[in-house]
Amino acid sequence: MMTLRARLGVLWALLRTLSGDDAYERYRAHQALHHPLEPLMSRRAFARDAEQRKWSGVSRCC
């Protein structure tokens, strides 16, 4: 059985991932695991890059 605290933690993590709040942390973890030698984008640069990608195609419907 998970404690209440653990459950809330899962919910919080879910909310962060859904909203993209932890996107940079996930990117950092990915780079550390797969490409440890490549230069890492700063948080600011990553946010700009993500925005650029999101808004150059169809992202919303009627």
Partner 1 sequence: MSRLSRISGVALALVGAIAVGGIAVHRREPVNSLWIITAAVCIYLLGYRFYGAWIATRVLRVDPSRATPAERLNNGRDFVPTHRMIVFGHHFAAIAGPGPLVGPTLAAQFGYLPGTLWILVGAVLGGCVQDMTILLLSTRRDGRSLGQMARDELGPFGGFAALIGTLLIMIILSAVLGLVIVNVMKHSPWATATVCGTIPAALAVGLYLRLLRPGRVLEATLLGVSLMLVALFAGGWVDHQQALRPLFDYPALALAAFVIGYGLCAAVLPVWLLLAPRDYLSTFLKLGTVVLLAIAIVITHPQIRMPALTSFTDGSGPLFGGKVFPFVFITIACGAISGFHALIASGTSPKLISSEADVRLVGYGSMALESFVAIMALIAATLLDPGVYFAINTGAGVLGATPEAAVRTISGWGFPVTVEQMRALAAAMGEHTLFARSGGAPSLAVGMASIFGSSFGRGFLALWYHFAVMFEAVFVMATLDAATRVGRFMLQDLLGHAWEPLGRTSWYPSVLFASTVTVAAWGYFLYVGVIDPNGGVNILWPLFGISNQMLAGIALAVATGIIVKSGRPRHALVTGLPLAWITLVTTTAAWQKVMSPDVRIGFFAAAHDLAHKLAAGALTAERAAIAPQLIFNQRLDGVLTILFTTVLWFVILDMLWVCARRLLGLPLRSLSEAPYRPSRLGAALLEGHP
List residues near partner 1 by CB under 8 A. 10, 13-21, 23-24, 26-27, 29-31, 34, 43-44, 46-62
* Least distance CB 14 / partner 1 (angstroms): 5
Question: What is the Cα–Cα distance from 53 to 55, expressed in whole angstroms?
Answer: 6
* Least distance CB 5 / partner 1 (angstroms): 15
Contact of 50 with 23, CB cutoff 8 Å: yes
Nearer to partner 1, 5 or 44 (CB): 44
* Least distance CB 42 / partner 1 (angstroms): 9
Question: What is the Cα–Cα distance from 22 to 33, expressed in whole angstroms?
Answer: 17
Question: What is the Cα–Cα distance from 49 to 55, expressed in whole angstroms?
Answer: 10
